[in-house]
Structure formats: C-alpha cells, structure tokens
C-alpha cells in the first residue's frame, strides 16, 4: 500500500505528519511511503533525510495522489486537496468533525474513509496514539513562555540590592493536559500559580505540581463528563464560577485559559467586565481560541489590546515549536496507522474501540454519531 504525506498548505502550519524515524517504521511494516518535496521544511527535515529513511520524494502535481491508498496529514484537508483525492482513499488528519462539517461532507461525497486524531479514545491502549494530548502539552508549555515574554515584570521572586521583586501571579483556567503543563511551566519559572477546573477530581494533580486549586463549593461532580472530560454545568454553578474567577483574575498578572467541552464551542469564562477589572499590563493566553475562545474578547490568530490587557488568540501554538510538535504527532499517527496494518494492508476492524472511535466516514456513511446528528440538524 502507498502512503502519501503532502506538504501542509495552511498559513503558519510548520508541522508535518511524519519524521524519518516513523518513515522507517512504516517501510518496515511493508508500506511504500511517498512524501511531497519540501513537506518537512517547516520542521527542519530535509528531503534527503526522508530519502535516507526509505521514502520516495514526489514533486507536487495533480498526480501526487494518483496511486495512493492512505494520506497522512496534520491539519484537516482543504476542499482543493480533497478534489485531488481518489475516491475511497483513507485520510488520517487532525479534523474536528463537529466543527468542520463541510469538510466531512466533501470527504463523504467521495466515499473517503476518514479518521480523526481528535477522536482517538483516551484509553490505556491508545495512549501512544493520543495526539490531542501530545499537542496540548506543547501548547500549555509554550503559552506560559509567550505570556512571560509579553509581561513587563519578572516571573520569579527576586532578592536584589534595590529591594525584593514579588513573583508574578498566574491563573490557569482548566486543568486538563494543557492546563497541567502550564501550571508546571509557570512554577518552574518561579511564579505563584492558582488553577481552576470544574472537575474536583483534578485537585490532587494541581496541588502535586505546587499550585493552589481554587474551586466552587458544590455537592456534586457537576463538571465531570464522559471519559473524564469537562461537561456543561448548571446555571447555578456557572454563577458561582463567575464570582470565583472574577475575584482571582483581578489579582493575576497572566491568565492561561484551556477550557474545552468536546463537540461544543469553548465556554466563555472571561466576559468583558472581568477584563476591565484586570491589572494594566496583564496578559490572557486563550488556548481555546480555535473553538471560539474562553474570553469574549478573543479573536482567533490575533493579539488584541483592551483596557491595557493583552489577549493572545494564537490558535496553533504547537506550530511555534515545530521540531517537537512534529516528532510527537508523527509518533502518534504512526502508532495509529500501524495498529491497523496487517501484512502490509490496512484492516479496518469496526469492532475495535480505537478504530471505530476515531472513524467518522466509512463506506459512504458518517459513522461518528455526534457529527451525524449535527449534519442532520443542519438539513432540517
């Protein structure tokens, strides 16, 4: 079977879906790997690096996908790319199926088998395939560094001849993978860190990293959803949550927001009124910008200033660390692909939890229920 890796064409995308190391693994598994010339440039991987690993380098043309069986990508394919794909080819990418419905329909119209790395189940067996976590880890780490670079103050406590410099106060909203990494990074930089999450079960993890866990007093697991993800909370909880965040955000120098609800727009945690009460010179890094943002003033892929507060809506923070972002993503997608390869051929076992869970189009049908429901509702 032929596996094709094209150069990512989205603005600012530096990652690529393979590395020389994962190319070797695919070739060893009996796959033929062809890579578009220049695909690795953004991650500092040359065509020669890929050739030496056993890949064939192909110049871009309408024939790039002519004989391919499987296409590996980072970002979801564009309509132009899909128009060049063969019918019934298999495509694996970082597609958000419930947000990119037109892309899902375009893949469906060509009977393309679509897998999303966004949908990989969070199970022990699938850990090495969990691209969402590997990229979120990078986003959490780098967001703190970006915030620090925008602040006009030191992050750590400093004792100087001129006096004592107080440490920066950092507030993390959402203690998932990105939030926990943000906590760890901010603590390593010497900041005072507080963290909030609707899931009380993460308190121990937050405190183990040296941060203070701030929580809404509630008698239930109000914010815990399926698979340990956050879920929509009650109106009463939201009111208490807003009061708590407003109290803490007014003291913060940097705020990192990471709150997401699977299949839905990001919850608004920071209304305009809260930003108005923040310190002049403070910074908000909104890691939920791609899904609408946790701050009402966030603009995707823009840095805005409001009331002397900087709000950064960069949506592809992993792309600012292309070497490690590519290394991790390539390992994730390679592990997933090889999980389905048997004797050099792809075996799509619909009874397998990992395969069926990440599959969204197959045999001319949408197999991911939440995506199907959204598409049907659009037709009504």
In this prediction, residues 310-332 reach a mean pLDDT of: 97
Which residues are the active-site residues? 122, 127, 130, 133, 229
pTM of the model: 0.92
Q: Which tops the pLDDT comparison, 288 or 64?
A: 288
E strands, 295-353, are 303-306, 309-312, 341-342, 345-346
Residue-wise pLDDT for 41-52, tens only, equals: 999 999 999 999
Handedness of CA 198, 201, 207, 209 (dihedral sign): negative
Q: What is the pLDDT of residue 222?
A: 57
List, in order, residues 6 or more apart from 320 with CB less than 8 Å away: 14, 142, 146, 314
Using alpha carbons, select from 72, 118, 94 the residue that is nearest to residue 370. Answer: 118
In angstroms, rounded to a whole number, what is the distance separating the alpha carbons of residues 256 and 139? 10
The answer to whether residues 150 and 6 belong to one domain is no
Residue-wise pLDDT for 118-150, tens only, equals: 999 999 999 999 999 999 999 999 999 999 999
The answer to whether residues 7 and 120 belong to one domain is yes
Q: Which tops the pLDDT comparison, 72 or 262?
A: 72
Instruction: Check: CB of residue 205 under 8 Å from CB of residue 235.
Output: no
The answer to whether residues 245 and 331 belong to one domain is no
Residue 266, pLDDT > 80, answer: yes
Residue 233, pLDDT > 80, answer: no
Residue 223, pLDDT > 80, answer: no
Instruction: Check: CB of residue 71 under 8 Å from CB of residue 85.
Output: yes
Q: Is residue 380 part of a domain?
A: no
In angstroms, rounded to a whole number, what is the distance separating the alpha carbons of residues 59 and 66? 13
The answer to whether residues 342 and 253 belong to one domain is no
The answer to whether residues 339 and 350 belong to one domain is yes
Residue 229, pLDDT > 70, answer: no
In this prediction, residues 93-122 reach a mean pLDDT of: 96
Q: How many CB atoms lie within 10 A of CB 175?
A: 26
The answer to whether residues 296 and 326 belong to one domain is no
What percent of the chain has a predicted confidence (pLDDT) above 90? Answer: 85
In this prediction, residues 332-359 reach a mean pLDDT of: 96
In angstroms, rounded to a whole number, what is the distance separating the alpha carbons of residues 375 and 190? 47
Q: Which CATH number fits the domain that encloses residue 367? A: 3.40.50.720
**Residue 75 domain boundaries:** 2-130+322-373
The answer to whether residues 192 and 241 belong to one domain is yes
**What SS3 class is residue 342?**
strand
The answer to whether residues 311 and 339 belong to one domain is no
Whole-angstrom CA distances from 41 to 13, 38, 75, 287 are 11, 5, 16, 26
The answer to whether residues 21 and 101 belong to one domain is yes
Number of domains in the chain: 2
The answer to whether residues 256 and 277 belong to one domain is yes
The answer to whether residues 313 and 327 belong to one domain is no
306 exposure class (CB count in 10 Å sphere: 0-12, 13-18, 19+): middle
Residue 238: pLDDT band (50, 70, 90) is confident
Residue 237: pLDDT band (50, 70, 90) is confident
The answer to whether residues 309 and 331 belong to one domain is no
The distance of Cα 278 from the centroid of its chain, to the nearest Å, equals: 27
Give the DSSP letter of residue 97. Answer: T
């Amino acid at each position: 079977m032929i596996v094709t890796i094209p150069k990512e064409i989205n603005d600012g995308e530096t990652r690529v879906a393979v590395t020389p190391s994962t190319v070797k693994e695919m070739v060893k598994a009996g796959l033929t790997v062809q890579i578009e010339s220049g695909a690795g440039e953004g991650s500092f991987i040359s065509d020669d690096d890929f050739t030496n690993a056993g890949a064939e380098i192909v110049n871009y043309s309408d024939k790039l996908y002519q004989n391919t069986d499987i296409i590996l990508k980072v970002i979801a394919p564009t309509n132009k790319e899909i128009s060049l794909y063969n019918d019934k080819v298999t495509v694996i990418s970082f597609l958000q199926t419930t947000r990119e419905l037109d892309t899902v329909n375009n893949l469906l119209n060509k009977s393309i088998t679509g897998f999303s790395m966004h949908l990989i189940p969070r199970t022990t067996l699938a850990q090495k395939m969990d691209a969402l976590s590997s990229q979120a880890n990078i986003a959490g780490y780098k967001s703190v560094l970006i915030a620090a670079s925008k602040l006009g103050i030191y992050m750590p406590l400093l004792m100087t001849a001129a006096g004592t410099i107080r440490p920066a106060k950092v507030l993390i909203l959402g203690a998932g993978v990105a939030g926990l990494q943000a906590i760890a990074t901010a603590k390593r930089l010497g900041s005072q860190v507080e963290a909030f999450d609707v899931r009380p079960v993460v308190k121990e993890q937050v405190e183990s990293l040296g941060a203070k866990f701030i929580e809404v007093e509630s008698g239930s697991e109000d914010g815990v959803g399926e698979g340990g993800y956050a879920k929509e909370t009650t109106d009463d909880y939201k009111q208490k949550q807003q009061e708590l965040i407003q109290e803490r955000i007014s003291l913060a120098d940097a705020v990192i927001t990471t709150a997401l609800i699977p299949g839905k727009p990001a919850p608004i945690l920071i209304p305009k009124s809260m930003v108005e009460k923040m310190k002049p010179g403070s910074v908000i890094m909104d890691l939920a910008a791609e899904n609408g943002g946790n701050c009402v003033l966030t603009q995707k892929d823009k840095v805005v200033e409001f009331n002397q507060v900087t709000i950064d809506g960069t949506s592809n923070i992993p792309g600012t660390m292309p070497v490690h972002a590519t290394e991790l993503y390539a390992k994730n997608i390679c592990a997933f692909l090889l999980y389905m390869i048997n004797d050099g051929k792809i075996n799509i076992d619909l009874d397998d939890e990992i395969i069926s869970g990440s599959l969204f189009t197959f045999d001319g049908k949408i197999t991911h229920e939440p995506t199907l429901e959204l598409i049907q509702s659009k037709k009504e």
